Every structure is written in C-alpha cells, then in structure tokens.
Amino acid sequence: MKIPGVIRWGVPGVEMWLLPAKAVWWPAESMLVVSDLHLAKAEHFRSQGLAVPPTVDFQTLSVLTSAMKACRPKTLVLLGDLFHSSPNRAWEDFEAWLQEEKAAGLDTCILVRGNHDRAHDVVYEAMGLEVVDMWEKQGVVLTHEPDDDIPKGTRFHLCGHVHPAAVMRGVGRQSERVPCYAQSSTGCEAGYRLTLPAFGAFTGMRAVEPKRGEEVYLVTEREVIGPVRSMPSRKGFSRRGRR
C-alpha cells in the first residue's frame, strides 16, 4: 500500500503511519484512528442563527471516506468527541455513512468516549458503534485526553482532545497555525504519547510549543513533516506542503 506524504512512527513490531489526512494508520491491526470530528457542531450553530456553511460535516466525512478508501481498515477508532452537540440531522448522516462503510468492508467502529460524547451507550450502539472509555492492546493504549489515567507499562498512548497546532512565524511578525501531531513522554516508564490533530473541518486549534524531549509533526495538505523539535519560521513551507 502506498499513501503519499506519510511518516512512519513507532518501533519495530508496533509501526504506525501518520497521514496528511490527520489520521493514524496501524497496518498490523488494520486499524485507522482519528480524533475529534465534532460532527453536528455546524448544524447546532446554524440552528442558533449563526451563518455556518451547511457543508462542513460533509467535508469532514468526505475526507474520512478518502482515508478509509486508501487504507481499507477492518477497524475504525474514534478518539472521542465524535459529536459536538445533542442529536440533530448530522447524527443521522453519520449513521448512514457508517452503514455504508460497513457494507464496504469495515468490521468494527469503536468510539472512545470523550467529554462531548454525553449520550447513553445504547444511543451510540444503535448506530453501530462500540463504546469504551479506553482501548488497549500490545502496550498501545487509546483514550480521549492526554491526562487520562493509563496502565503501567504503556508503550504508546494515542489521544486527542486538545486539537494541537504549531505556530509558524514569519520575518514580518506574520504567523500561521498549522495542525500537528504532538509527541511527548508518558512519564518515567519511557512510553510515548501521541496527541492527534482534530480531524473535524469545523474545530479550533490550540498552539503547542515543543519542550525538551517533545516533538511535533506538521500536517500540510500533501504531507506530514517532522519530527520538529522547535518551531521553524514559516519561510520554506507552504500550505501545499512543499519545502
């Protein structure tokens, strides 16, 4: 399988790919991992009279569909905050989308509950989702927040929640936020934590500044760039990913 612009991340035996689509592909498990779709947020804002484009959720699901076609995973994991608000039409659209993906070969879709996922489990299960607070296998742990408690001996912790972005600064005080994967340590046991960028098209971003021992992987439209241990200037990078 060839996917342009990826970076391979991990160690022998547990190798994952960081995709420009802001998703992580774990080939050995046939698993695609995304975080923070925040579907239904746009529809909620529109119901309050705010001028939000009606195509935002369609854009999010379109990008996810492309990632699904590129990887053909058996398992899709959603690292929390699948929906931003109470049920509205966007929930029905996602349910229809999920049924289409299952008909195309997806076996399992797991929702790792986030702070916005407030419905009862039976609501999500009726849509075809499995709901968990944490997923664990082979020393890899998936939760929603970086600060979630994880088991001792965790080798890799994948999470979301903070919508990380790197700030690219230019010579004339210009700056631009670029979504990124943020890598840090899980603590004294030498495990690695990877915080995924928000996948949704209608989400904010929080600037992160790598500290000692931390790295970021910048996400452009065409490639993932890194690891970066300090923030480079914007010069030399473009939104199309050329350097």
Q: What is the pLDDT along the chain (243 residues), one digit of tens a residue?
A: 789 999 999 988 899 999 999 999 999 999 999 999 999 765 655 555 555 556 678 899 999 999 999 999 999 999 999 996 666 788 899 999 999 999 999 999 999 999 989 999 999 999 999 999 999 998 999 999 999 999 998 999 999 999 999 988 766 667 788 999 999 998 767 799 999 999 998 688 899 988 888 999 999 999 999 998 865 444 444 333 333
Cβ atoms of 157 and 192 closer than 8 Å: yes
The pLDDT score that the predictor gives to residue 175 is 75
Asked if the structure places residue 48 within a domain, the reply is yes
The pLDDT score that the predictor gives to residue 168 is 81
Q: How many domains does the chain have?
A: 1
CA 145 – CA 142 distance, rounded (Å): 9
Asked if the structure places residue 31 within a domain, the reply is yes
Asked if the structure places residue 113 within a domain, the reply is yes
Asked if the structure places residue 150 within a domain, the reply is yes
* pTM for the whole structure: 0.88
Asked if the structure places residue 111 within a domain, the reply is yes
**Across the chain, which distance is largest between two alpha carbons, in Å?**
53
Asked if the structure places residue 1 within a domain, the reply is no
Asked if the structure places residue 117 within a domain, the reply is yes
Helical ranges in the chain per DSSP H? 41-47, 56-71, 89-103, 121-126
The b/e string for 154-179 (b: 16+ C-beta within 10 A; e otherwise) is: bbbbbbbbbbbbbebeeeeeeeebbb
Q: Name the amino acid, one letter, at 206.
A: R
CA 202 – CA 56 distance, rounded (Å): 6
Give the CATH number, domain containing residue 148: 3.60.21.10
Structure tokens at 194: 């990877």
Specify the DSSP class assigned to residue 29: G
> What is the Cβ-side half-sphere exposure of residue 128, based on CA atoms within 13 angstroms?
18
The pLDDT score that the predictor gives to residue 204 is 80
The pLDDT score that the predictor gives to residue 231 is 54
Q: For residue 18, list its beta bridge partners.
A: 7, 24
Structure tokens at 241: 């990913």
CA 216 – CA 147 distance, rounded (Å): 18
The 14-18 sheet, strands edge to edge: 7-11, 14-18, 24-26, 31-34, 75-78, 108-112, 130-132
User: Range of 189's domain?
Assistant: 7-228
Asked if the structure places residue 235 within a domain, the reply is no
How many Å from the N-terminal Cα to the C-terminal Cα in the chain?
Answer: 25
Kind and range of the H or E run holding 225: strand 224-228
